[in-house]
Each structure stands twice: as structure tokens, then as C-alpha cells.
Amino acid sequence: MNDKGFQLLAYITGEKSRVIGGASIALFEKDEELKSLLSVDLAKAMKCNVVQLKNKDYLLIKNR
């Protein structure tokens, strides 16, 4: 958790250089359509929200 009231559960990216370690899951998927499907499926399983960033990566976050 952080002071903003949300928890980062996963980060899905198409750039290997943006896959970093940490408490959340970081996934690499080059195909844009598969990234989108993966983010929706994981969000359903984790009961969280999906945010698509301007760089076409996805954040899976959960509010407190």
C-alpha cells in the first residue's frame, strides 16, 4: 500500500527494459492484443482495475 490509497498488483509491458522486480508482478508481452486480453483476464481474477498508460503498458491496481 502507499499513501495514495491504492496497491500496484501487476505491470504488463511490451518492452523488456521496463520489466523490473518488486512486490508486484511484472509481465512481458510484445503483442498488443494479447497484452490487452491478459490485462483484462488478470484484473478479473485479481478483482482489480486496469489502467492503460500512454506508452501502451498496463497497470493493475486495487483501491484500499
pLDDT at 11: 95
In a domain, 15, yes or no: yes
Q: Residues 19, 28: contact at Cβ < 8 Å?
A: yes
DSSP string, the chain: --TTSEEEEEEEES-GGG---SSSEEEE---HHHHHHHHHHHHHHHT-EEEE-TTS-EEEEEE-
pLDDT digits (tens, 9 = 90+) for 26-45: 999 999 999 999 999 999 99
In a domain, 32, yes or no: yes
In a domain, 52, yes or no: yes
CA 39 – CA 50 distance, rounded (Å): 7
Looking at the structure of the chain, the number of domains it has is 1
In a domain, 20, yes or no: yes
Give the structural domain span for 32: 6-63
In a domain, 24, yes or no: yes
pLDDT digits (tens, 9 = 90+) for 3-19: 668 899 999 999 988 88
In a domain, 1, yes or no: no
In a domain, 46, yes or no: yes
In a domain, 48, yes or no: yes
